[in-house]
Amino acid sequence: MSQPLHASAWLKHFPVPWWARSPHVQTILPTLVHTPSVPLRRERMELPDGDFIDLDWADAPDSPSRVVLIFHGLEGGSDSPYVKRLMATCLQHKLSSVVHHHRSCSGENNRLARSYHSGETQDIQHTLLHLRRLYPEAHIDAVGYSLGGNALAKYLGEQGSNSLIDRATIISAPLQLSACAKRLEGGFSTIYQRHLIKRLQQKTLEKIHHPELSEAMPVTAEQIPSLNTFHSFDHHVTAPLHGFDSVDHYYQSCSGLQFLKKVTTPTLIIHAADDPFMTDAVIPTPTDLSPHVTYELYPLGGHVGFISGGSPLRPRYFLEQRIASYLNLDRVDALTQ
């Protein structure tokens, strides 16, 4: 991702070891090394349309006065290494955290033909209303990664002062969906696209072969192999299933960058300039941001990587340190300034 002239205003730095200066090492290595798990409690939340969302909780010992709500990336979940690291960090600070699984991402395909997408904010609102019913006085922090970060940015801008979130952090979000989809069609980045598309294709095939869902699916099983880019998959599957006229309508409507100037929740956004999923189209100009948004661009870090030390077998990460610092996770009382 090249850096436009205005990006110098946002540049920050963290120490990067010599062996982790490649964006692909930063992106891939965290998915290969062992990440300690935390005990999880699953809660199924039924939705008004007959579908469900699974929430995975890492409970602190005391009744929460603060909850950290986590939105994972495309085809991620509570078993994603970056999610496990953040949940472990929250427990170290004696805070409860909960993962909002996008529909179909909790290990079980969802019940409806529709699934999830980069701009799905109604489900976010359902989860937040549920948390507010459980803990009316709790301070709610939210952290969104990649696709989940884009959806979180859209939610914060749409809701403005009505947001149910007290403080937020957004990591490696594809804030301009069309540009990011195009980036993944070239060079080494196609490896990431191929891996994720296969998972989306498999879920789609399951629904095509489901006797109660097949007629609602916009494609046939024979078409699935040809939908091998995000652009084609989103045009033929994501857009029609979720009420968009076309892939262009979907990308334009759901790209998070356009919503940032309406955000009133204190929010930190982090990108790496070498992110293999992004282009410089995701980097905001000063006029794109509300006064409540802090933007930080790091020269290195890959996609949801941000390795800062250790060894290849036991890397250390800058990301959780920065999230904990911004969200003031060492403070039990609510912080909204």
Q: What is the pLDDT of residues 204-220, one digit of tens each?
A: 999 999 999 999 999 99
Kindly indicate the confidence band of residue 143, based on its pLDDT and cuts at 50, 70 and 90. Answer: very high
Q: How many CB atoms are closer than 10 A to CB 250? A: 23
pLDDT at 256 over 50: yes
| Structure confidence at residue 10 as a pLDDT band (50, 70, 90) | confident
Separation between Cα atoms, residue 256 and residue 27, nearest integer Å: 22
Q: What is the pLDDT of residue 2?
A: 72
Q: How far apart are CA 27 and CA 20, in angstroms?
A: 10
* In the predicted structure, residue 333 carries a pLDDT above the cut 90: no
Q: What is the pLDDT of residue 105?
A: 98
Helix axes 81-92, 319-327, angle to 10 degrees: 50
Does residue 337 surpass a pLDDT of 60?
A: no
Which pTM value belongs to this model?
Answer: 0.96
- How far is residue 83's CA from residue 99's CA, in Å, rounded to a whole number? 8
pLDDT class for 330, splitting at 50, 70, 90?
A: confident
Query: What rounded mean pLDDT belongs to the chain?
Result: 95
Q: Find the mean pLDDT for residues 166-194.
A: 96
At 332, is the pLDDT very low, low, confident or very high (cuts 50, 70, 90)? low
SS (H, E, C) the chain: CCCCHHHHHCECCCCCCHHHCCHHHHHHHHHHCCCCCCCCEEEEEECCCCCEEEEEEECCCCCCCEEEEEECCCCCCCCCHHHHHHHHHHHHCCCEEEEECCCCCCCCCCCCCCCCCCCCCHHHHHHHHHHHHHCCCCEEEEEEECHHHHHHHHHHHHHHHHCCCCEEEEECCCCCHHHHHHHCCCCCHHHHHHHHHHHHHHHHHHHHCCCCCHHHCCCCHHHHHHCCCHHHHHHHHHHHHCCCCCHHHHHHHHCHHHHHHHCCCCEEEEEECCCCCCCHHHCCCHHHCCCCEEEEEECCCCCCCCEEEECCCCEEECHHHHHHHHHCCCCCCCCCC
Q: Dihedrals φ, ψ of 56, to 5°?
A: -110, 120
Nearest residue to 58 via CA among 50, 69, 47: 69
Percent of the chain with pLDDT over 90: 92
The arithmetic mean of pLDDT across residues 143-171, rounded, is 98
Domains of the chain: 5-176+256-327 (3.40.50.1820), 178-254 (no CATH)
pLDDT band, very low/low/confident/very high, at 9 (cuts 50, 70, 90): confident
Cα 71–15–274 angle (5° rounding)?
A: 60
Share of the chain above pLDDT 70, in %: 98
For residues 171 and 142, the answer to whether their CB atoms sit within 8 Å is no
Model confidence pLDDT, tens digit, residues 122-140 = 999 999 999 999 999 999 9
96-100 and 66-71 strand pairing: parallel
Predicted confidence at residue 286, as pLDDT, reads 92
Q: Catalytic amino acids?
A: 146, 275, 303
Distance separating alpha carbons of residues 258 and 262, to the nearest angstrom: 9
Are 213 and 109 contacting, i.e. CB atoms less than 8 angstroms apart?
Answer: no
